[in-house]
Amino acid sequence: MSEVEDKTTALLAQLWVKNRPIIEERLATLDRASAAAASGTLSADLRKEAASAAHKLAGALGMYGYDEGTQIAREIDALLSNEIPAVAQLAGLTARLRTSVFPEGKAAAD
């Protein structure tokens, strides 16, 4: 790697550490929406909040090189644009997203 690439990699690693709590918060929002959808209590407000979280994750994860996470977040965003999202699909995508971002399982849902 060149010196510029090394510096860029180091900067992205620092930004990841700084922004990880925000990423985890957005994943938690998706977890809440998925659980609410499964129980039939997903409100319009939570659905919109989760769609926004998914949209923001799609953009942010790409910057950090999480291409699979970006794709999954886009799918969740599109799914949540429906007034009544497909519950099983939402749960599966949310779990896949969490695993793609944190394969080590350190950011498990609370």
Write down the pLDDT at residue 109. Answer: 44
Cα angle 46, 27, 85 (rounded to 5 degrees) comes to 45
**98 Cβ neighbours under 8 A, 6+ residues apart:** 27, 31, 107, 108, 109
Write down the pLDDT at residue 36. Answer: 94
| Domains with residue ranges and CATH for the chain | 18-101 (1.20.120)
**pLDDT tens digits along 42-53:** 999 999 999 999
Radius of gyration of the chain (CA): 15
Is 110's pLDDT higher than 60?
A: no
Distance CA 101, CA 107 (A): 9
Q: How confident is the model at residue 76 (pLDDT cuts 50, 70, 90)?
A: very high
**66 Cβ neighbours under 8 A, 6+ residues apart:** 100, 101
